[in-house]
Structure 1
Amino acid sequence: MSRQTLTTVMAPLLGLFILSVGNSFLSSLTTLRLDAAGASPAMIGVVSSAYFVGLTLGAMFHDRLIVRIGHIRAYASFASLGVVSILMQVLSADWMLWILVRLIYGWTTVGVFLVIESWLLLVADQTVRGRFLALYMIAFYGAGAVGQALLGTVDGLGEFAPFIAAAMLASLSVLPIVILPREMPLMERVEALKPLQLFQMSPSGVIGCFGSGVAIAAVYTLFPLYLQTIGMPVDEVGMMMACVILGAMVLQYPVGRWSDKQDRRVVLITLAFACLLLCAAVLLLPHNATTLMITLFLLGGGIFAIYPVSISFSADRASAASLVPMIQGMLLVNSLGSAISPISISAVMSAFGASGLFWSLAVLKILMVIFFIWRRGARPEATQVAPFAPATAMSPIGAEIRVTDEMIQGVKEHDAEAEEPPVRHASSLG
């Protein structure tokens, strides 16, 4: 990777990092402020789901807008609207208003992701995409951990200070984008595979991506509520959330490398079962700070690793031509799980208390384990065609970053072997 290429790509990644720091503590803060205002867990779930609904809608339609007005103007527009939606939360704690502004904020956030990821595609040929993906993950998860660790600090500055800080960060994230002297990339329309096609191609991959979306959204939006309910102050809530995100970043690569040497469905079964045990540990073990931090670090690694392992498993069964639309479709499946998660799980929490969060996750993981075991018996192991690539859920255009030359070549060779006619041996009689 040349120094010029690295310098060029650092600008959009810096913009992503700045925006994601504010986005990270804002997601937890929204939950905590609604709880302090007396909102029920079910209502908090509705507000939280609005953000993920906005993400899903934006992922489906933003590519058209960016093609029409260009990347710099699109980014500035998304960031500006994001600043407005954040500051609108200062005006009132009315949950109806917050549903609207969180929907808008989710819609603008995925627009930012689209701009940044398509920008990376402009400068990333297939030989360096893996490294760019790693830098993307470091920026995204690193910002998430920093933002959660800052939660207590910014909350201590005053009632409105955290929202103002998040708005300032969203506004500042524009600077690296607008000062970058680079020709804008061209984007094509996103054409993801339909859900039925995805399920026929890889049932385990679809269930893994959907279940991952449910679990990750619950962690981001409802876990802060659980921690506050058991008596943790805001600064400790932020530190515990930072442990979850650090686990997601640190453990994803070793889990992925393990999946390259093992049937990926065995890895999915193990991850889901490990998450089940860790959920039980959170519920049953005494809430000692050190023990809880270690448990949450491992739980974050398990929950967040299911998505990329599911994508890798699905890629083993896809054709070369369907790799990108397959990953795009899986992202939308993941987004659907994220959108329904806070609403459904918060309803359980309203009925059974804060521990309903981990009971819900435990039931989800049990169902995933049963499904993966059933599918492993019903369908033989797929040939692994390319090494695992660690990843977070991205926008649809970002699916192309994951599709490296090595992956395409592996799939093509596998397709060629599958289509090769059987060898006919000549008869000894001539």
Structure 2
Amino acid sequence: MSRQLLAMALAPLLGLFILGIGNGFLATLITLRLDAAGESPVVIGWVSSAYFIGLALGAMFNDRLLLRIGHIRAYGSFASLVAVTVLMQALFFEPWAWFVLRLIGGWATVGVYLVIESWLLTSGDQKVRGRLLALYMISLYAAGVVGQLLLGVTDAMGETAPFMVIGMLASLSVLPMAMIPRVSPLIDHAEPLSPMRLITMTPTGVMGSFGSGLAVAAVYTLLPLYLQRIGLTVSQVGQMMAVVVLGAMLLQYPIGRWSDRHDRQMVLILIGAFCALISAGMLLLPLQSWILAALLFLLGGGVFALYPVAVSHAADRAPAGALVRMSQGLLLINAIGSTVSPPMISPVMAWAGDAGLFWAFGALSLFLVGFFFWRRSVRPAPVPVAPFAPSTPMSSVGAELAVTEELMQGAIEHEHMEDLSDLVPDVEVAEPLVGPPPPDEPHIAFYPVGEDEDGENERLADEPTMTGDDSASASRT
């Protein structure tokens, strides 16, 4: 990856990291504040779901603003809206007001994701997209870890202090986007991309994004419940969740680099098989502390790598003008998967016990493996082009190569077949395409390598040579 490309990606990644620090503990902060105020779990659930509803709505419409005003100004608009909604939550402590503000905040947050993903996808080609999106996910998860650590510090400052800190971070995230880059990616045109066209264009990318939404949402919402029910304390649950995020951070870039150098469909197949294997280990192995930590580390690396590889695969299949709307569509599909994940997986846990979470993980992983295998059999990876071999027009010694049949074919348009056959007897030529030239028109004779008329010059003659009556005519002149 070139330094120029890294410099171009630095601004959006740094902006995402700053904004993500605040978003990393906002959801936890809202849940804790509503619970402390005595609100019922139903109210807390509706306020929390408003954010995901906003994500889905924003993924449907935010591309229009991005295409109209560009990446930098769109980012500034969305980040400022995030800051405003968070600061207003400190002013209006009402569940209905927080529902509306969280919905708007989700709409603005997915706009930030859309700007950054489309920025990275349009900045690099398919050889580096996996690594760019891996850096994107690393920035997001690292910000989440830092945000969780800041929760206790800001909460001790007062009731409104955490909201003020989150709002300030969202505002500060605009600075890298406005100051660091010299130029933002240029979008010449945006092709329309309907949901059906997206599905038919890249079924693997669509299913990978949806499966990632199912798995990641289950990790964030149901894995802490599983860890608590197997006997871990609240502090230990936090440590194990940090291990999951750490695995996602450290394994993102190696997997992204691996996908840049190999068939991404096969990489997705292996990621699915790996997640299925880790799920089996959670069900069968004795869950001592170090074994549990190792398995969760690997689970985080596999589950959280699914989305960037799927998006990179989809970008490889999409036209250049459709990358923005492709990213928008995959974000929407991922948000839908995140929304339906708890209602789909929690009944499995109720039926099979706490271990039902990993039965669901295993079934989902095997389904994705089967789907990716089927898609690879229907539409295999493109065959690599033949390795480069120098040819006459490209070679530095092209002027020293022997006369080719193509050159002879061009020469016979101005030469008698019998004269040309006498000159180069070993080359079989076709019938002349045109008749003999006029008597006063000079002929052009070509000499093969090492055989000019004097027998001494070993290079192909650069100048045409006049023969026969033309030479005599020229001497008379």
TM-score normalised per structure 1 = 0.68
Distance 1:75 1:262 in 2: 33
CA shift at 1:381, angstroms?
A: 3.0
1:100 alignment counterpart: 100
Distance 1:228 1:155 in 2: 24
Over 3 Å counting, the alpha-carbon distance change for 1:101 and 1:178 in structure 2 is same
2:50 alignment counterpart: 50
Secondary structure of residue in 1 paired with 2:382: coil
CA shift at 1:20, angstroms?
A: 0.6
1:198 alignment counterpart: 198
1:363-402 maps to which residues of 2 (within 5 A)? Answer: 363-375=363-375, 379=378, 381-383=380-382
> Which has the larger displacement, 75-84 or 206-215?
75-84
Secondary structure of residue in 2 paired with 1:242: helix
Mapped contact 1:213–1:337 kept (Cα < 8 A): yes
1:244 alignment counterpart: 244
Mapped contact 2:126–2:315 kept (Cα < 8 A): no
2:255 alignment counterpart: 255
Distance 1:258 1:153 in 2: 39
Over 3 Å counting, the alpha-carbon distance change for 1:12 and 1:163 in structure 2 is same
1:174-189 maps to which residues of 2 (within 5 A)? Answer: 174-177=174-177
Q: What one-letter code is carried by the residue in structure 1 that aligns with 2:174?
A: V
Mapped contact 1:24–1:144 kept (Cα < 8 A): yes
1:7-406 maps to which residues of 2 (within 5 A)? Answer: 10-30=10-30, 39-40=40-41, 47-66=47-66, 74-87=74-87, 89=89, 96-116=96-116, 124=123, 136-151=136-151, 153-154=153-154, 161-177=161-177, 191=191, 193-228=193-228, 232=232, 235-256=235-256, 258-259=258-259, 264-282=264-282, 288-314=288-314, 326=326, 328-345=328-345, 357-375=357-375, 379=378, 381-383=380-382
> Which has the larger displacement, 214-223 or 125-134?
125-134
Distance 2:107 2:187 in 1: 19
1:401 alignment counterpart: none
Over 3 Å counting, the alpha-carbon distance change for 1:34 and 1:228 in structure 2 is farther
Gaps of 5+ in 2: 386-477
Mapped contact 1:32–1:224 kept (Cα < 8 A): no
Q: What one-letter code is carried by the residue in structure 2 that aligns with 1:291?
A: I
CA shift at 1:148, angstroms?
A: 3.7
Q: What one-letter code is carried by the residue in structure 2 that aligns with 1:304?
A: F
Over 3 Å counting, the alpha-carbon distance change for 1:190 and 1:247 in structure 2 is farther
Distance 2:88 2:228 in 1: 24
Over 3 Å counting, the alpha-carbon distance change for 1:163 and 1:184 in structure 2 is same
The structure with the greater share of residues assigned to helix is 1
Gaps of 5+ in 1: 387-430
Over 3 Å counting, the alpha-carbon distance change for 1:242 and 1:206 in structure 2 is same
Q: What one-letter code is carried by the residue in structure 2 that aligns with 1:215?
A: A
Could you give the per-residue CA deviations for residues 340-368 of structure 1, whole angstroms, max 9, x where no partner exists?
A: 32454456667777655444433322332
What is the root-mean-square deviation in Å for CA atoms of aligned residues? 4.5
Mapped contact 1:260–1:384 kept (Cα < 8 A): no
Mapped contact 1:279–1:362 kept (Cα < 8 A): yes
Distance 1:4 1:349 in 2: 49
Distance 1:184 1:381 in 2: 34
CA shift at 1:213, angstroms?
A: 1.7
Mapped contact 2:43–2:95 kept (Cα < 8 A): yes
Mapped contact 1:89–1:101 kept (Cα < 8 A): yes
Q: What one-letter code is carried by the residue in structure 2 that aligns with 1:145?
A: V
Q: How many residues align?
A: 383
Could you give the per-residue CA deviations for residues 172-213 of structure 1, whole angstroms, max 9, x where no partner exists?
A: 323444556967776677546333333334433322221112
Mapped contact 1:152–1:238 kept (Cα < 8 A): no
Distance 1:2 1:365 in 2: 35
CA shift at 1:21, angstroms?
A: 1.1
> Which has the larger displacement, 233-242 or 301-310?
233-242
Mapped contact 1:148–1:239 kept (Cα < 8 A): no
Identity, in percent, stands at 58
Secondary structure of residue in 2 paired with 1:200: helix
Mapped contact 2:35–2:44 kept (Cα < 8 A): yes
Distance 1:371 1:288 in 2: 34
